[in-house]
Amino acid sequence: MQPQTVNIGGGFSIPFNEPFSFDTALVTDPKTAQLSILGKLSDGTSVELSIDRQTTTFSELQESAAVSSTGLLFVNSIEACGDSSVASATYRFAGSTFHDDFFIQTACFVATAGSGGTRAEPFIVAGGVYEAGFVAQFRGPDTVDVVLSGSDLAYSLKDPVAGVIVDPATGRIEVEATVPAGQRLIVLVSYQDVQTGLSLSSQVEFEVIPASN
């Protein structure tokens, strides 16, 4: 089975103006892994064998991962993240049955507007700036939740919005007065995990509101 160590997970996002909770988080940046089976012929040649419902079954995945009939591993719930486990594949070929174990590591990441444990309102006044910061939480294969902020993270707009500038290092958002009220913008808050090598991003949505008279 290849690869022998599989790193999967995803970036999760909180729906607009919903409370910060893992219960409401939705996967928006899935990190999947495609498994493959290498077989060796009698002449020593290695070939990749197909994975399907007839040839392959998987076991011992626990709740850390789900797998498609073609061997695509993925995480569909943030609650399933933060785990390391050994799974097994059983493969049937030419009347024989083969077994192989592989290692799964999962990691998830979610962010929201705010700092110091306080969530900021997701609204920015036209002609104003947002400087309340962002806070994020990462759950790695060691099952430990790590709170991240500031220089741990990188920031960008998911889609360009005329008159809106996001500082990639600080997350400061500047909105020109010409940006219409009601305009929605999505900031991607990103994190690179050294242990798994996964680059994860979470979407934080804001709405532009009119300046008070």
Q: CB–CB of 208/185 below 8 Å?
A: yes
Strands (E), 56-172: 56-59, 66-67, 72-74, 83-93, 96-115, 118-119, 123-125, 129-130, 134-139, 145-149, 154-157, 164-166
* Structural domains of the chain ordered from first start: 5-107 (2.60.40), 109-209 (2.60.40)
Nearest 5°: the CA angle 145, 23, 27 is: 80
What pLDDT is stored for residue 212 in this prediction? 78
CA distance 50 to 153: 40
What's the mean pLDDT when you consider all of the chain?
Answer: 89
Q: pLDDT-based confidence at 111, cuts 50/70/90?
A: very high
Supply the pTM of this predicted model: 0.87
- For residue range 40-64, what is the model confidence (pLDDT) as tens digits? 777 777 888 888 888 898 887 766 6
Structure-token match 């070929």, residue found: 93
User: Which residues, including other chains, have CB under 8 Å from residue 162's CB and lie 6 or more apart?
Assistant: 178, 179
CA distance 8 to 198: 8
What pLDDT is stored for residue 131 in this prediction? 95
What pLDDT is stored for residue 94 in this prediction? 76
